[in-house]
Amino acid sequence: MKNNQSLPNSISHKELNKLLKRASKENAPLKEQQDSEITEKEIFNQLLVSWSDKSNQILSMIKKKEAIITKDRKSESIMAIGAMSAHLNMALQAMRLIELDN
């Protein structure tokens, strides 16, 4: 009902059912939107977990096989690997903060 209409003193069962059916249909997109948001959030969280695993694998390999990774590389390339390691570590720390918030 619109706000500018006065409320009826009574309503028939048939009219009430019509209103309920219409209200259910109007709220259906809201439910679908909420379900979609939950699914997108789950997908995002799965991507974060996957990214975190891969980042940890990369950092582990850099630490364990540093001599092999840096062999025959220019100094700029070695510095870039170091910068990448630092950024991955910072991103993983940020990821831990996100996990605490969930």
Q: Express each pLDDT in 24-74 by its tens digit.
A: 666 666 667 777 777 888 898 899 999 999 999 999 999 998 888 888 999
pLDDT for 1 equals 47
Helix 13-64 with 75-101: angle, nearest 10 deg: 150
Q: Express each pLDDT in 67-92 by its tens digit.
A: 888 889 999 999 999 999 999 999 99
